[in-house]
Structure 1
Amino acid sequence: MSKTHIAHDLLSRAYSPDTADQLFTERIKQKPLYLRPTSPTPADNRSRRRLQRIRKKEYFYRKQRPRPLSAREKRISGFYGIPKEECKYEVFKGLHDLWVAYMQEVLGIEKQNGNRAPPVITAQGHGNKLVSADYHGAEVEVVRSRCAGRVGAKGIVVRDTKFTFVIVTEKNVVKTIPKEHTVFRFAIPAASVESKTDDEDKPQEEKPKDLVFELHGSQFENRPVDRANKKFKWRNIDYV
Structure 2
Amino acid sequence: MTSNTLQPSGSKPATLLDPYAQVSFGKAERLRFSTSSPFTPNYVSSNLSGSSDPMAMYNARVKGRQILLENPAKESRLRKMQEERRTKKMTQKERKKVGLIGRREAKQKGVWKFDSAQARFRLFLPLHQLWMGYMSELLNLQQRPAQPVSRDMVKKAMPSASSMHPKLLKADFHGSIVSVSQSKNPSIVGVSGIVIYETENTFKVITREDKVKTIPKQNSVFSFAVPLYSTLSASHHDDASLPIPTPLDSSGEAAETLKTVLDTEHLLFQLYGNQFRFRSADRAGRKFKHKETIEL
TM interval, shorter chain, is: 0.5 to 0.7
CA distance in 1, matches of 2:223, 2:145: 29
Determine whether 1:86 maps to 2:118.
yes
Contact 1:187/1:212 (<8 A) preserved:
yes
> Equivalent residues in 2 for 1:1-240 (5 A)?
60=89, 64=93, 74-112=106-144, 117=153, 118-191=156-229, 209-240=265-296
Contact 2:179/2:193 (<8 A) preserved:
yes
TM-score (norm 1): 0.60
Shift of 1:73: 5.2
CA distance in 2, matches of 1:154, 1:208: 17
Whichever residue aligns with residue 280 of structure 2, its letter is P
Shift of 1:69: 6.8
Relative distance call for 1:102 and 1:146 in structure 2 (3 A) is: same
What secondary structure, in the 3-state scheme, does the structure 2 residue paired with 1:75 have? helix
CA distance in 1, matches of 2:193, 2:208: 7
What secondary structure, in the 3-state scheme, does the structure 1 residue paired with 2:174 have? coil
> Percent same amino acid among aligned pairs?
33
CA distance in 2, matches of 1:222, 1:149: 24
Q: Which has the higher contact order (CA 8 A, sep 6+)?
A: 2
Q: Greater share of strand residues, 1 or 2?
A: 1
Contact 2:142/2:157 (<8 A) preserved:
no
CA distance in 1, matches of 2:102, 2:136: 38
Specify the structure having the higher radius of gyration (Cα): 1
Across the aligned residues of Structure 1 and Structure 2, the Cα RMSD in angstroms comes to 3.3
For residues 54-92 of structure 1, give each alpha carbon's deviation from its aligned partner in whole angstroms, at most 9, with x where no partner exists: xx89xx59x846898776554343222111122211111
CA distance in 2, matches of 1:142, 1:233: 24
CA distance in 1, matches of 2:189, 2:142: 32
Shift of 1:162: 1.2
Q: 5+ unaligned residues in a row in structure 1: which ranges? A: 1-52, 193-206
Number of paired residues? 172
Relative distance call for 1:68 and 1:137 in structure 2 (3 A) is: closer
Query: Which segment is superposed worse, 83-92 or 165-174?
Result: 83-92
Whichever residue aligns with residue 114 of structure 2, its letter is I
Tell me which residue corresponds to 2:27.
Answer: none
TM-score (norm 2): 0.50
Shift of 1:96: 0.6
CA distance in 2, matches of 1:222, 1:164: 9
Tell me which residue corresponds to 1:204.
Answer: none
Relative distance call for 1:68 and 1:108 in structure 2 (3 A) is: closer
CA distance in 2, matches of 1:83, 1:120: 39
Query: Which segment is superposed worse, 113-122 or 136-145?
Result: 113-122
Query: Which segment is superposed worse, 65-74 or 145-154?
Result: 65-74
Q: 5+ unaligned residues in a row in structure 2: which ranges? A: 1-81, 231-262
Shift of 1:236: 3.5
Contact 1:179/1:217 (<8 A) preserved:
yes
What secondary structure, in the 3-state scheme, does the structure 2 residue paired with 1:215 have? strand
CA distance in 1, matches of 2:132, 2:185: 29
